[in-house]
Each structure stands twice: as structure tokens, then as C-alpha cells.
Amino acid sequence: MADPTAQRIWNTALGQLQLHVTRPNYDTWLKETEGLRVEPGNFVVGVPTEFVKEWLATRMRSLVAQVVGAILGRPTEVAFELLGRNGHQNGHQEATLPLASAATPVQTVITSPATPPRLNPRYTFQNFVVAESNRMAAAAACRAAESPGVDYNPLFIYSTPGLGKTHLLQAIAQRATQRKQVALYLTSEQFTNDFVTAIAQGRSDEFRRRHRSPQLLLIDDIQFLAGKVRTQEEFFYTFNDLHSNGCQVVVAGDRPPASISGLEGRLCSRFQWGLVTDIQPPDTETRLAILKAKAADQRVDLPQNVAQLLAERAPDNIRELEGLLNRVLAYANLIHVPVTLDCAARALTALKPAVATPLDPNSLLEAVGAYYGIPIPALTGKSRARPIAEARHTAMYLLREDAQLALKQVGLLLGHRDHSTVIHGVQKVAKALASDPRLSAQLADIRNAAANNNHH
């Protein structure tokens, strides 16, 4: 079983990784991964296939280690481990009931039809906080799930990223599935890929059967259909077919249909047949309510002042808001302190330079010297007096982590020390960091100072 702390840390890491890799790369390599365990000096990530494992291990190991290390506040290695084949370790469910299995006799197909994406079990109506900014969309979504094809058909929901579109679409799918309806949730990219693959393999009939049999079709991120003429054509027929059979169609996009350039007129006008509604960024009240709900979900009592601090930091994006909360909870959990304003503030600064550009080594040395009040010649000199040695260890740690120097270079800069001395110093600081939250706040101050006198 994955441990919840590891999962939380990994969710935070994924949030940051998303900002550093392209969307297709994220979807291909990172989306299906899970945080399994925190071990001393090592973080274990579960991956779905051997292929993904190899790719991540060779291409992304250091980025991942850096991001996780920043969250943990200490240097960390990462290991990738294969998840059990059927191991939906965190209880993901399939998006649909088995589809058309009677209609499709058992075949020995080489490439099995694309499996529908797994739904996030947390994306339910119950977990969706309804407020002024999303009331209309939430009500319409609920209605679509409970009386598919009756009122708003199609339903088109749009907003800027991170405001709950995917959450609502998946909530519809899960509610419908509970009600023994067949719901198919797909992003427009998956629809495209399925379609292209089906054509290439001469299995377009099967594709049609699959996409035209559900009682609810939920298409996410429709904007990615822009410019894809043949897929749009297929989607148009699919839509007509389903709609005329009373199937509920729900579509989410990043803007209203008429503003998606590269979307065919006839498709655009179909989307406007039903209800087009938006989700607005949440106001402060709503952000606070969402934070409270998410914390309660994790059985954490979130103090009001902490909630306020977080709500101020992520004004227009609930995904970021959640990311901040997860960081703070992971941090508090890791160092075994209650979630206080002080701890939250530290967590946010300690985590800030996640994947920053390397700091300049000389600026760092200067900042360390200034912070501890020790002249640079003393730092690089022979004295082993306690305060000097401590400052020197800190310098080693920061030169290694933040300036990303090789051990050898660190040794050279600090008065020709050998590489085992440097390892020793770095480890000492890393260990201290794990038990002393004050230290990470100090390091954050030194980093800030170094960044400010980055004059080289």
C-alpha cells in the first residue's frame, strides 16, 4: 500500500513537475505515477510500466529528485518501482462499465482498444464546494448526471485552468455510473488518438460502437480539437448520433465555443444548442471554504490564519491553492509539528526555490559568510572551530544543492578540501534539516540574500 505521506508529497511534486515539463510529456510519463514510500535519503515512485520506468529513470531522475528534495527540505534520491499490474493502488476506478462486450466478440487484437482513462475518486459532487462562482455549472452538472439528456443537452462548461471543469465532468461520470448508467469520460485528445488509431487499424466500426453507445459522453478540454478537421468531423457525427438518441453530452473547454478558433462552425453551433455556462475564479470566502473542506478531507484542522495565508497566495486557481495546502500539510507531517501559521510560512519559504536556476557560488559564499558573520578567508581556511565549521558545512550544502556544483568543485572553493570532507559536511546539514525546521528557514534567508547579491 502507498503511504499517505508519500502520496501527499508526490502530489505536491507532480504539481510542480507539471510546470516544468510539456503537457504531452506530463501526460505520457508522469500522470499515472504514485508516491509509494519515503525512505531515508530516498523517495520511491510507483510507475505503471517498465517502459515508463526506464524513461523516467534516464531522462527525469535529477529533475524529480530536485523537486522532491525541495519539498522534503533535504537532498533525496528517487527510485522508480513498478506498480502491481492490476494495482490501482489508490483505488482508481474505471471510467465506464464494461462497454459493448457482448457486441464485440473476444478477439485477438494486437493493440487492444484504448482503455478509458481512470477517474480520480476524489472528483465527486460531494467533494465539490459550490459557491457563487460555480453555482450554475455545478447545478447543471448535477442535473445532467441525474437526468441525463433531459434539460441541458449539450452542456458546455468553460473556464480558465484549475477551476473545477475536470472535477465536475468526472463527478458526473461517477454519479452516473453509480446510477447504473454508462458514462464515457474522455479528453478530446483521447478521442482524437482513439480515432486515429482506429482508422489506422481499420477498426473504425469498433470505434463508432464504443463512442456511440454510452448514455453520457463527457468530453474534456475540447479546445484541443481545434484545427483537427477529420476528428471534428467524426465528433460531429458522434455528437449527432448520441444527441438524437437522447444521450447526454457534456463538454468542457477553456473558453466559450464561439471563441475557440479552429472549431468548425457547425460543431460550435451544436454546442450552443444547450446550456453554455462558465466558472469564475473563486472569491476569498470560497477559497477559504475550499481549503477547509480539503483539509477536513485529510482530517486536518486548518487554523483560520493559515487558511488566509494560503488563500492570499493563490487567488485565481484552485489547483494551485490545493498545491499550497498539500505542501504545508506534507511539511508539518514530515517534521511532526502542528499546522500553525509559523509552520505554514516556513513551509512556503523552505519550498520556494524548488527548481530555481542555480545560484552563483560566490554570491552564496558571501551570503553564508555574512549570515554567520564569518569572513570568507576563515570559511575557506584551516580553522575547525565550531561556528566556523558549521558555517562551512552550510556553505558546502548550499554550493552543492543550490549552486549545483560537483563535490570536487565545492571542495576546491572551500580551500581545497577533499571530496569525502564535502560529503560529510553536506550530509550533516541534510540530517539537521530533517529534524530542525529552523535550519530550513535560515537556509531560505541565506538563499534569498545570495539571490539578491547575484551580481556575477
State which of residues 159, 215, 326, 363 lies at the interface with ligand ADP (CB under 6 A).
Answer: 159
Contact in structure between 76 and 65 (CB atoms under 8 Å): yes
Q: Contact between 164 and ligand ADP (CB under 6 A)?
A: yes
Candidates 129, 247, 343, 430; binder of ligand ADP (CB under 6 A) is: 129
190 is an interface residue for ligand ADP by CB under 6 A? no
Calpha distance 144→126 (Å, rounded): 16
Does residue 274 bind ligand ADP (CB under 6 A)? no
Which residues inside 289-308 make contact with ligand ADP, applying CB under 6 A?
290
Least separation in angstroms between CB 205 and ligand ADP: 32
Query: Which CB atom, from 151 or from 254, has the smaller least distance to Mg ion?
Result: 254
Q: What angle do CA 358, 368, 357 make, to 5 degrees?
A: 10
| Contact flag: residue 319 with ligand ADP (CB under 6 A) | yes
Please say whether the beta carbons of 249 and 283 come within 8 A: no
Shortest CB 190 distance to ligand ADP, Å: 15
Question: What DSSP designation does 304 have?
Answer: H
CA 18 to chain centre: 6
Burial class (CB in 10 A: 0-12, 13-18, 19+), 284: exposed
3-state secondary structure of 261: coil
| 163 belongs to the binding site for ligand ADP (CB under 6 A) | yes
Does residue 261 contact residue 253 with C-beta atoms inside 8 Å? no
- In three-state secondary structure terms, 405 is coil
Q: Which is nearer to ligand ADP, 313 or 438 (CB)?
A: 313
Cβ pair 7, 91 in contact under 8 A:
no
Q: Which of 166, 170, 215, 363 binds Mg ion (CB under 5 A)?
A: 166
Chosen residue from 206, 234, 322, 360 binding ligand ADP by CB under 6 A: 322
Q: Which does 290 bind (CB under 5 to 8 A by kind): Mg ion, ligand ADP, none?
A: ligand ADP
In this complex, which beta carbon is closest to ligand ADP, that of residue 290 or of residue 429? Answer: 290
Instruction: Kindly tell me which of 165 and 327 has the beta carbon lying closer to ligand ADP.
Output: 165
Alpha carbon dihedral 367, 371, 377, 381, in 10-degree steps, equals: -110
Number of residues located near Mg ion, criterion CB under 5 A: 2
Residue 158 forms beta bridges with which residues?
253, 278
What is the H or E stretch that residue 320 is in?
Answer: helix 318-334
* Contact residues: Mg ion, CB under 5 A: 165-166
* Contact residues: ligand ADP, CB under 6 A: 123, 127-129, 134, 159, 161-167, 290, 318-319, 322
